[in-house]
Copies of this chain bind each other. A is one copy, B any other.
Amino acid sequence: MLQRNLFQIEEQTAWDDLGNGIMRKIYGYDDSIMLVKAKFEAKAVGALHEHHHSQVTYVDSGVFEMTIGENKCIIKKGDGYYVPPHEVHGCVCIEPGILIDVFTPLRADFLK
Protein backbone atom coordinates (compact mmCIF):
# COMPACT_ATOMS: atom_id res chain seq x y z
CA MET A 1 0.00 0.00 0.00
CA LEU A 2 1.29 3.46 -0.85
CA GLN A 3 -0.10 6.98 -0.99
CA ARG A 4 0.19 7.84 -4.67
CA ASN A 5 0.36 11.59 -4.05
CA LEU A 6 3.61 12.64 -2.40
CA PHE A 7 1.90 15.91 -1.41
CA GLN A 8 -1.47 16.05 0.34
CA ILE A 9 -3.18 19.40 -0.17
CA GLU A 10 -5.87 20.35 2.35
CA GLU A 11 -8.46 21.64 -0.14
CA GLN A 12 -7.93 18.71 -2.52
CA THR A 13 -8.46 16.01 0.12
CA ALA A 14 -12.00 14.98 1.01
CA TRP A 15 -13.29 14.43 4.54
CA ASP A 16 -14.70 10.99 5.27
CA ASP A 17 -17.67 11.40 7.62
CA LEU A 18 -17.43 8.76 10.35
CA GLY A 19 -20.60 9.97 12.10
CA ASN A 20 -21.07 11.14 15.69
CA GLY A 21 -19.26 14.42 15.01
CA ILE A 22 -16.00 12.90 13.73
CA MET A 23 -14.51 13.25 10.23
CA ARG A 24 -11.26 11.90 8.82
CA LYS A 25 -8.77 12.60 6.02
CA ILE A 26 -6.02 10.17 5.10
CA TYR A 27 -2.68 11.80 4.33
CA GLY A 28 0.70 10.15 3.68
CA TYR A 29 1.20 6.41 4.08
CA ASP A 30 3.03 3.29 3.07
CA ASP A 31 3.02 -0.20 4.59
CA SER A 32 5.01 1.02 7.58
CA ILE A 33 3.30 4.31 8.53
CA MET A 34 0.08 6.34 8.10
CA LEU A 35 -0.82 9.96 8.92
CA VAL A 36 -4.49 10.70 9.49
CA LYS A 37 -6.28 13.98 10.22
CA ALA A 38 -9.30 13.58 12.52
CA LYS A 39 -11.76 16.46 13.03
CA PHE A 40 -14.02 16.50 16.11
CA GLU A 41 -17.09 18.55 16.90
CA ALA A 42 -17.51 19.67 20.51
CA LYS A 43 -18.67 16.76 22.73
CA ALA A 44 -17.71 14.17 20.10
CA VAL A 45 -16.28 11.05 21.70
CA GLY A 46 -13.43 8.93 20.38
CA ALA A 47 -14.54 5.75 22.16
CA LEU A 48 -11.99 3.79 24.18
CA HIS A 49 -10.24 1.25 21.93
CA GLU A 50 -6.87 -0.43 21.39
CA HIS A 51 -4.81 -1.66 18.43
CA HIS A 52 -1.44 -3.29 17.83
CA HIS A 53 -0.03 -0.13 16.22
CA SER A 54 2.15 2.35 18.05
CA GLN A 55 0.53 5.79 17.77
CA VAL A 56 1.82 9.35 18.08
CA THR A 57 -0.58 12.27 17.91
CA TYR A 58 -0.26 16.05 17.58
CA VAL A 59 -3.07 18.45 18.47
CA ASP A 60 -3.55 20.79 15.48
CA SER A 61 -6.40 22.69 17.14
CA GLY A 62 -9.09 22.40 19.80
CA VAL A 63 -9.13 21.03 23.34
CA PHE A 64 -9.51 17.35 24.24
CA GLU A 65 -9.75 15.25 27.38
CA MET A 66 -7.52 12.31 26.52
CA THR A 67 -7.37 8.96 28.29
CA ILE A 68 -4.43 6.57 27.82
CA GLY A 69 -4.61 3.53 30.06
CA GLU A 70 -5.12 4.85 33.61
CA ASN A 71 -3.93 8.36 32.66
CA LYS A 72 -6.11 11.36 31.82
CA CYS A 73 -4.89 14.72 30.52
CA ILE A 74 -6.45 17.84 29.02
CA ILE A 75 -4.55 18.61 25.82
CA LYS A 76 -4.78 21.58 23.46
CA LYS A 77 -3.22 22.99 20.29
CA GLY A 78 0.52 22.29 20.22
CA ASP A 79 0.46 19.33 22.62
CA GLY A 80 0.84 15.67 21.74
CA TYR A 81 0.73 12.14 23.08
CA TYR A 82 2.10 8.63 22.59
CA VAL A 83 0.04 5.43 22.74
CA PRO A 84 1.93 2.14 23.16
CA PRO A 85 0.69 -0.92 21.23
CA HIS A 86 -2.50 -2.42 22.72
CA GLU A 87 -2.90 0.40 25.29
CA VAL A 88 -6.57 1.35 25.65
CA HIS A 89 -7.13 5.01 24.73
CA GLY A 90 -9.88 7.45 23.81
CA CYS A 91 -10.87 11.10 23.96
CA VAL A 92 -13.69 13.55 24.53
CA CYS A 93 -13.64 16.76 22.51
CA ILE A 94 -14.06 19.82 24.76
CA GLU A 95 -13.51 22.51 22.10
CA PRO A 96 -13.79 21.55 18.39
CA GLY A 97 -10.53 20.77 16.71
CA ILE A 98 -8.25 18.46 14.77
CA LEU A 99 -5.94 15.67 15.87
CA ILE A 100 -3.04 14.51 13.68
CA ASP A 101 -2.78 10.76 14.36
CA VAL A 102 0.19 8.78 13.04
CA PHE A 103 0.40 5.01 13.23
CA THR A 104 3.03 2.37 12.61
CA PRO A 105 2.53 0.09 10.81
CA LEU A 106 -0.13 1.17 8.29
CA ARG A 107 -3.78 1.25 9.47
CA ALA A 108 -4.85 -1.00 6.61
CA ASP A 109 -8.37 -1.04 8.12
CA PHE A 110 -8.68 2.69 7.28
CA LEU A 111 -8.25 1.99 3.54
CA LYS A 112 -11.20 -0.37 3.19
Contact surface of A with B, Cβ cutoff 8 Å: 2-3, 5-10, 27-30, 32-35, 37, 54-58, 60, 66, 68-69, 71, 73, 75-84, 100, 102-105
Indicate whether A28 sits within 8 Å of B57 (C-beta atoms), given known contacts A35-B102, A102-B35: yes
Cβ-defined contact, A82 with B32, below 8 A: no
Interface of A is mostly: strand
Q: How far is the CA of A77 from the CA of B35 in the complex (A)?
A: 15
Would B32 and A54 count as touching, CB distance under 8 A?
Answer: yes
A80–B37 CA distance with the chains assembled, in angstroms: 10
Check A29/B58 contact, CB under 8 A, given A9-B79, A80-B35, A82-B6: no
Nearest opposing residue in chain B for A10, CB measure: B78
- CB contacts (< 8 Å) of A58 on chain B: these are 27, 35, 37, 58, 60, 100
